[in-house]
Amino acid sequence: MSTTLQEEIPRPQRHYLDHAATTPVRESAMQAWVNATRMLDENPGNPAALHSGGRTARRMLDDARERVGAALGADLHEVVFTSGATEADALAVAGGARGARAADERRTGVLVSRIEHDAVGDQREVLEPDGFQWRLLPLDRNGVSVIDADAVHEGGSTTALASMSLVCSEIGTLQPVDVLVAALAGTAALVHTDAAQAVGCLDVDFHRLGVDLLSIGGHKIGAPVGTGALLVRRGLSLITDRPGGGQERKLRSGTPDVAGAVALAVALEETVAERSVTVAHLSALRDRLLAGLPARVTPTIPASVATTPAIVHLSLPTHHPEALLMAMDAAGVMVSAGSACHAGVTRPSQIVMEMGRDESAALGVLRVSMGAMTTETDVDALLGALPHSLAAARALDGRDAGRTRTMATPTSAGAHRSESEEIPA
């Protein structure tokens, strides 16, 4: 029997260092999902049904809801299951702002940090046409949001909602959510936080944080993709764009994913139970990584700034991070650039530019993100692959520079090409 092409090509050992994008499903969560699915197959029923199958599904869903709430310092009835943090963010920001304005028509301001995921940032296109005013908090050179407490409090009388992540998903900086909550104390402004990147390393307690809304995504903590939750403070009124059957506090209509909720609860409980061990493990790996960096590769965030140990953001002297990523992947190391690639065009990191860096610095970035299953071998593989991968990227930089110089020389007619005709580095 002939071998396939895939069998003929030797493949390197894989080293996954992109946990901020998604994390492998925990064995415990996978088994919980399988067991729940089998239970539902043997006892079929919609959680809204009154028969025994429906009651079984309802008990499983309520048990998962209670466990998620307990793990995050929330009450049973404050947990709304979603398809992930993206949906939870959108529902929190758009639904929360509209709910606040419905209670007080003067509340049309939405205050957002500049480090937010697009799930939050893109709500601007939804809310501004609806009459809301979008305001952005400044970012300092270290990637931390700056809060003028007096100004924020003064504007709180017309602020419907403020949103700030606990951890920046791109550069890993911890954000001053507590300061934002304190600044808006005494006003009716709602506060939302995206905790998707925080649950694995920070003590996330909904009531203690004092926020009104909190989002998590299951696939960032080892639950299946398509699972997540939004915590909604008791008594809070959101206006949803998902009317229908009235499930999930009438905020997210549709038959709930019972097995997914069960798997999310198991992954979350395990994440919280292992948190202290995980933080120590990731901190040691981060130190190992930083100590082994080659020349000219430096941390983007100074050591004096608080970050999650799970994310190490690096600055590199190249305009071609996509070439570096491809070379790293060929060596079996999976990481991300932290900048968006659309149709083969690499764009600079908007967050790095908001930090005051130029476009060149915002192009040459690399995000290394680790999880509980990351090993020293994974980190060593990255350090081993980084020098030659960077050399491959810098070869393209050199080619670009050569082409720019060629196009800038006089033509045979003695004329020079205009600056606008140069190929940018």
312, 177: one domain: no
For residue 209 the two structure tokens come to 């944080």
Which of 85, 303, 307, 73 is closest to 201 using CA atoms? 307
249, 319: one domain: no
pLDDT digits (tens, 9 = 90+) for 307-347: 999 999 999 999 999 999 999 999 999 999 865 454 455 78
- Whether residue 142 is contained in a domain is answered as yes
**Whether the predicted pLDDT of 39 surpasses 90:** yes
**Whether the predicted pLDDT of 393 surpasses 90:** yes
Instruction: Supply the pLDDT for residue 5.
Output: 43
The CATH number assigned to the domain holding 387 equals 3.90.1150.10
Instruction: Supply the pLDDT for residue 13.
Output: 86
- Whether residue 6 is contained in a domain is answered as no
CA angle 14, 19, 23 (to 5 degrees): 85
Q: Exposed (0-12), middle (13-18) or buried (19+): which is 52, by Cβ within 10 Å?
A: exposed
265, 281: one domain: no
Query: Which residue range forms the structural domain that includes residue 379?
Result: 275-408
C-beta of residue 133 within 8 angstroms of C-beta of residue 100: no
137, 95: one domain: yes
The CATH number assigned to the domain holding 201 equals 3.40.640.10
251, 219: one domain: yes
Instruction: Supply the pLDDT for residue 2.
Output: 44
Instruction: Supply the pLDDT for residue 345.
Output: 59
Considering only 4-8, 75-79, 140-144, which range has the smallest mean pLDDT? 4-8
For residue 418 the two structure tokens come to 């205009």
Phi/psi zone of residue 89: left (φ > 0), alpha (ψ -120 to 50 degrees), beta?
alpha
265, 286: one domain: no
**Whether the predicted pLDDT of 65 surpasses 80:** yes
Instruction: Supply the pLDDT for residue 412.
Output: 41
240, 310: one domain: no
Of the chain, the percentage scoring pLDDT greater than 70 comes to 89
Considering only 212-226, 369-383, 405-419, which range has the smallest mean pLDDT? 405-419
Helices (H) and strands (E) in the chain, counts: 17, 14
Q: pLDDT-derived band of residue 416, with 50, 70 and 90 as boundaries?
A: very low
- Whether residue 4 is contained in a domain is answered as no
263, 294: one domain: no
What's the CA gap between 211 and 78, in Å, rounded? 12
- Whether residue 64 is contained in a domain is answered as yes
Instruction: Supply the pLDDT for residue 117.
Output: 92
Instruction: Supply the pLDDT for residue 69.
Output: 98
Instruction: Supply the pLDDT for residue 423.
Output: 24
Indicate which residues carry an active-site annotation.
341
Please give the mean pLDDT across all residues of the chain.
90
Which of 385, 384, 390 is closest to 364 using CA atoms? 390
Q: What is the pTM of this model?
A: 0.90
Instruction: Compute the Cα dihedral for 86, 88, 89, 90 and give only its sign.
Output: positive
R_g of the chain computed on alpha carbons: 24
Task: Kindly list the strands in the beta sheet with 79-82, ordered across the sheet, starting from the edge strand earlier in the chain.
Answer: 79-82, 228-232, 213-217, 190-194, 159-163, 109-112, 133-136
pLDDT digits (tens, 9 = 90+) for 294-316: 999 999 999 999 999 999 999 99
Instruction: Supply the pLDDT for residue 413.
Output: 39
Instruction: Supply the pLDDT for residue 376.
Output: 98
Of the chain, the percentage scoring pLDDT greater than 90 comes to 82
C-beta of residue 236 within 8 angstroms of C-beta of residue 213: yes
Domain count, the chain: 2
- Whether residue 333 is contained in a domain is answered as yes
102, 182: one domain: yes
pLDDT digits (tens, 9 = 90+) for 119-166: 999 999 999 999 999 999 999 999 999 999 999 999 999 999 999 999
Instruction: Supply the pLDDT for residue 6.
Output: 47
Which residue do the tokens 């130029």 mark? 358
Which of 335, 341, 283, 285 is closest to 314 using CA atoms? 335
Q: pLDDT-derived band of residue 421, with 50, 70 and 90 as boundaries?
A: very low
For residue 167 the two structure tokens come to 């951890």
- Whether residue 368 is contained in a domain is answered as yes
What's the CA gap between 425 and 6, in Å, rounded? 37
Considering only 78-87, 246-255, 302-311, which range has the smallest mean pLDDT? 246-255
**Whether the predicted pLDDT of 217 surpasses 80:** yes
189, 311: one domain: no
Which of 187, 95, 167, 94 is closest to 134 using CA atoms? 94
81, 221: one domain: yes
What's the CA gap between 238 and 242, in Å, rounded? 11
- Whether residue 318 is contained in a domain is answered as yes
Considering only 88-102, 266-280, 398-412, which range has the smallest mean pLDDT? 398-412
- Whether residue 266 is contained in a domain is answered as yes
Instruction: Supply the pLDDT for residue 93.
Output: 98
Instruction: Supply the pLDDT for residue 184.
Output: 97
Q: pLDDT-derived band of residue 244, with 50, 70 and 90 as boundaries?
A: confident
Q: pLDDT-derived band of residue 24, with 50, 70 and 90 as boundaries?
A: very high
236, 289: one domain: no
**Whether the predicted pLDDT of 399 surpasses 50:** yes
Instruction: Supply the pLDDT for residue 249.
Output: 81
